[in-house]
A and B are shown apart, each in its own frame.
Chain A
Amino acid sequence: MQFTVASSPHLTPATSVSAVMLKLLLALLPGVAVYALLFGWGILLNLVIGCLSALVIEALFLFWRNRPVKKHLGDYTAIVTAVLLVLALPPLTPWWLITLGVFFALSLGKHVYGGLGYNPFNPAMVGYVIVLISFPTELSFWPGQLGLFGDFSLVDTLQYSLFGSLGEQTLDGISSATVLAAIDNGFSQGLTLAEIQQQAAFGLLGSAGFEWIALAYLAGGLWLIQQKVIRWQIPAAIIATVTLLSAVLWLVDSSQYASPLVHLLSGAVILGAFFIATDPVSASTTRKGRLWFGAGIGVLIVVIRSWGGYPDGVAFAVLLMNIAVPMIDYYTQPRVYGHSK
């Protein structure tokens, strides 16, 4: 058997930022495809608006900070930030809200700290949380499954996004309470889970429609792990903690707490676990630290969902754990070979 021996250097080239980001975007494709198929044109339009805004805003900031514009625009990080932000927003969102979110993500989330690689917080989540706090009405308007080929056409979507008009449709006609919002409201009104289940669009597994999107994200996420773009620790820790904690609560009182399956397959748990919390800059970097980081996010998600004021808590959980990252990294430094601890 003959082996080809290449000349040195024998090290494989380190993966570039742009290659990693492209793979990330590729892994999101199945989720986005299912999203669009079930919920209509909104998400596609939002992605276009988000990416265009990201390119323009990122270019302006780079120019203002005297950084090479073309080089940094080409690493796709701004695009990834915008895409993750848009995926967190409802599919029918006014264009200015998306642009504003992207602006805050890139300015307060990234460039104030010195740009890519220096941000302590996940930029997409910074942008999302700021618009979530500022525009609660828009962000709690989730349409039902409009479908890509349904009554709500691309023109209708454009009209809503650009001018905020719904044409012949009514807000109540197309909106549908998300499962998490229904649970949040229902429990505070003293309803039991069984009663809530009759009101909101529960699906086969979690919330109708979103369960399939979550499964598509899961597939993309697993591919990312296989491609070694992300490590398994953070997603595994998040999913395990959410499952465990919600299972305990559910077993204690299944009329007041949602089942683990509902928790995992509604809202942003899967998207957050694989795509948001694994941000290489703002997440923990040690092996053990990643487990702690993920576990903390998982606990916070369940706590915020069960007892907090907001229906979903993935963004807050990620940001809160971002604060803890320096401490986690400090206490989980691996032992240096040849040295005792």
Chain B
Amino acid sequence: MADVSYGKITQDGLWDNNAGFVQLLGLCPLLAVSGTVVNALGMALATTLVLVLSSTVIAAIRNTVPDEIRIPVFVMVIAAFVTITQLLIQAFAFPLYQTLGLFIALITTNCAIIARAEAFAARNDILRSATDGLMMGLGFALVLLTMGSVREIIGNGSWFADANLLFGEAARDWGVNFSEYYRGLLVAALPPGAFIVLGLLIAVKNVVDGRLKKRADKRSALATAA
């Protein structure tokens, strides 16, 4: 198997094969914790951290793990890093730990992570796997943050409110409150809003992809004509 280029890994992770928009993996945390930007950011950081670390370790041990039991081993590795992350959040961002609650532990079962372990880290070298984990994590973070922003702005009329959950007391006033007259469209902050917003964002991505493809086609047609 030929080695994948770093450029392709990056492009896949951030856009072409985005965990949230294209593979639709890890939807449970994506839908549940994207109500506000701060929650989404906390989840994004935790997931990215776990992805990078687990991909690196799994790539390192990929040749010594027997094929038959590789998935349980991968899950063990992922669970170990999730536990570490959970303890870190509990130690340094306790309020966030309280809001994210169960969803931190549930990162273990996030299919975006196990899918990367199985589909990429188990077949590629350490550096490439770490890059893939980072890019997939950033791609997932991008989706989480976009959803968090859209839902918080529409649902609460604010952006980045309650930053103190993540960054401590100094960050209490970092948030933006757009208008005191806007009462918020509650549905966007509630679970149905998560599905609707995700659907609309995927639609937007498909429209952008369609436009890009059309432009590329036109360019290649021009190139062949010339």
In the A-B complex, the 4 residue pairs with the closest CB atoms: A134-B186, A134-B187, A133-B187, A134-B185
- Tell me if B192 is interfacial: C-beta within 8 Å of chain A: yes
Q: Are A135 and B186 in contact (CB under 8 A)?
A: yes
Is there a chain A Cβ closer than 8 Å to B24's Cβ? no
Chain B residues near A112 (CB, 8 Å)?
199-200, 203
Chain A stretch 121-174: residues in CB contact (< 8 A) with chain B: 130, 133-136
Interface contacts beyond A112-B200, A134-B185, A134-B187: sample of 12 additional A-B pairs, CB < 8 Å, sorted by A: A100-B185, A108-B196, A112-B199, A112-B203, A130-B187, A133-B186, A133-B187, A133-B190, A133-B192, A134-B186, A135-B186, A136-B186
How many angstroms from the CA of A134 to the CA of B184 in the assembled complex? Answer: 8
Chain B 179-215 interface mask (CB, 8 Å, partner A; 1/0):
0000001110010100010011001000000000000
B residues sitting closer than 8 Å to A (CB atoms) are 185-187, 190, 192, 196, 199-200, 203
Q: Which residues of B contact A134 (CB under 8 A)?
A: 185-187
Q: Which chain A residue lies CB-closest to B186? A: A134
Taken together as a complex, chains A and B put the C-alpha atoms of A136 and B203 apart, in Å, by 29
Closest CB of chain B to A106's CB: distance in Å?
15
In the assembled complex, the CB of B35 is this many whole angstroms from the nearest CB of chain A, namely 14
Tell me the bound Cα distance from A130 to B186 in angstroms: 9
The CA-CA distance from A135 to B188 in the complex, in Å, is 12
**Complex A-B: 10 CB contacts under 8 Å:** A100-B185, A108-B196, A112-B199, A112-B200, A112-B203, A133-B187, A134-B186, A134-B187, A135-B186, A136-B186
* Chain B residues, CB < 8 A from A136: 186
Chain B residue numbers with a CB within 8 Å of A135 are: 186
Contact with B along A108-124 (1 / 0, CB 8 A): 10001000000000000
Quick one: closest A residue to B188, CB to CB? A134
Bound complex: CA A133 to CA B199 (Å): 19
Q: Which residue of A lies closest to B154 (CB)?
A: A134
What is the CA–CA distance of A133 and B193 in the complex, to the nearest angstrom? 10
Q: Which B residues are in CB contact (< 8 Å) with A133?
A: 186-187, 190, 192
Residue of B nearest to A100 (CB): B185
Chain A contacts of B192 at CB under 8 A?
133
How many whole Å from B193's CB to the nearest CB in chain A? 9
Expressed in whole angstroms, the minimum distance between the Cβ of B189 and any Cβ of chain A is 9
Which residues of chain B are within 8 angstroms of A100 by Cβ–Cβ distance?
185
Docked CA distance A133–B190 (Å): 9
Q: Which residues of A contact B196 (CB under 8 A)?
A: 108
CB distance from A315 to the nearest CB of B (A): 13
Residue of B nearest to A135 (CB): B186
> Closest CB-CB distance, B159 to chain A, in whole Å?
19
- Residues from chain A with a CB closer than 8 A to the CB of B187 are 130, 133-134
